[in-house]
Structure 1
């Protein structure tokens, strides 16, 4: 089944344009006209990607993005008239995957959607991320490490906490990107854990589990900055 895109946009004309161009490229779409409806549809339908406006009734895009990041790793592209650098930085800090400013070229938006879906492993409707020996099924909430040759391959499933799984998925979507502790707190840790120093503890436990399963050196620390999943692109 082809990928499903959730369009969270209160302007019906803009939503219709996005729907038409995405469906022309073979994607399925669903529309939410306010933030609360967007969260409800996300919970019910589990879309592969969300196109999210900021200025919406009931819940704005920032609130929706924050809620999504506490509950899932679904890729999100912000599509908004807010064009200041501070808005873009806030979106990326909370956990958006891309940022498109209105007025936009719908062909470019479709291209960005496809690029994000490729990175997330959901272009064909699946939710599997692969980075080196690591394989993560975001829908089944399962992570595996595959080592050795195909004929004698050793497959080990990781026993991860919810926070460890969120951290792993978030970094796996852009494995060469360096994430600050603040990035990881905002994207992966609920409010009670929202202290930068707690990230080090979670990453340390995650790294130990990956090493024991046959994937040493993941995630890699970047001195004075934070972490990335792989040492090199």
Structure 2
């Protein structure tokens, strides 16, 4: 059994095809099963998480969510018709995450990838990310350049992990604004500010310019660490406490 089971449930063909393409782009292995097939599978052989595709918050969707919750299966729900109230209801019902089918494939992929790391690998990966002389430690919420800790804010750290999870792939400002906002969407200029401060802190500590701007689209983390090198004599950004956003 592959780590992800896709249950098309009541969603249409177009939604299913879109989700399959997202999973392929994210290089996440999956099996397509009916709800009955998934339920009949022995617990030891089941996928670690389910991507359920539904029309909206109707009786079949509610019954599906209840069944998966009873089986203690982490569920990512893609709904074709979803109001904000419906989204809140589903999240309170035990769904791990829920997203509208009309969202961009990039946003759906980023949220799926984040869930995969949390569920399948235990945390947003316990293994540190290594890029040139920069080490990102999700287990300790720390960023190191060589042996020195770089003081980053909580939002800057989350930004770096999101980019590190998809190295060499462009992540749009819209996706970052959606994922970094706590209770509401972050403004695009705020994303730019966080990226700029994070870059400055890493380069000032002796690291490379890891995060590359892609004009008019978003940002990309260079996996080989060979982005534009920091300018000699660049000044360090002021230390910011971890608790600050």
TM-score tier, shorter chain, comes to: 0.5 to 0.7
Deviation of 1:168 (Å): 0.3
2:90 counterpart SS class: coil
Deviation of 1:228 (Å): 0.8
Does residue 96 (structure 1) correspond to residue 88 (structure 2)? The answer is no
Does residue 20 (structure 1) correspond to residue 20 (structure 2)? The answer is no
Which residue is 1:199 aligned to?
A: 191
2:112 counterpart SS class: coil
When residues 203 and 191 of structure 1 are mapped into structure 2, their CA distance, relative to the original with a 3 A threshold, is: same
1:139 counterpart SS class: coil
Larger Rg: 2
Q: Distance in 1 between matches of 2:192 and 2:164?
A: 17
Q: Distance in 1 between matches of 2:65 and 2:134?
A: 37
Q: Distance in 1 between matches of 2:113 and 2:143?
A: 21
Which residue is 1:145 aligned to?
A: 145
Which residue is 1:134 aligned to?
A: 134
Q: Is the 8 A contact 2:177 2:188 kept in 1?
A: yes
Q: Distance in 1 between matches of 2:198 and 2:42?
A: 39
Q: Is the 8 A contact 1:167 1:184 kept in 2?
A: yes
Aligned pair partner of 1:165 in 150, 157, 161 = 157
Q: Is the 8 A contact 2:211 2:220 kept in 1?
A: yes
Q: Distance in 2 between matches of 1:158 and 1:182?
A: 26
Q: Is the 8 A contact 1:65 1:94 kept in 2?
A: no
Aligned residues: 170
RMSD: 4.7
TM-score w.r.t. the length of structure 1 is: 0.54
5 Å-filtered alignment, 1:46-195, equals: 52-54=76-78, 58-59=89-90, 64-65=96-97, 86=102, 89=105, 92=108, 95-97=111-113, 122=125, 126-146=126-146, 155-192=147-184, 194-195=186-187
2:190 counterpart SS class: helix
TM-score w.r.t. the length of structure 2 is: 0.52
Deviation of 1:226 (Å): 1.2
Quick check: which one's helix share is greater?
1
Q: Which ranges in structure 1 are unaligned for 5 or more consecutive residues?
A: 24-28, 43-49, 67-77, 100-112, 147-154
1:169 counterpart SS class: helix
When residues 232 and 117 of structure 1 are mapped into structure 2, their CA distance, relative to the original with a 3 A threshold, is: farther
Deviation of 1:211 (Å): 0.3
1:95 counterpart SS class: helix
Measured against aligned partners, the alpha-carbon deviations of 1:111-149 in whole angstroms (never above 9, x if no partner) come to xx79x979x984xxx342222322222122112122xxx
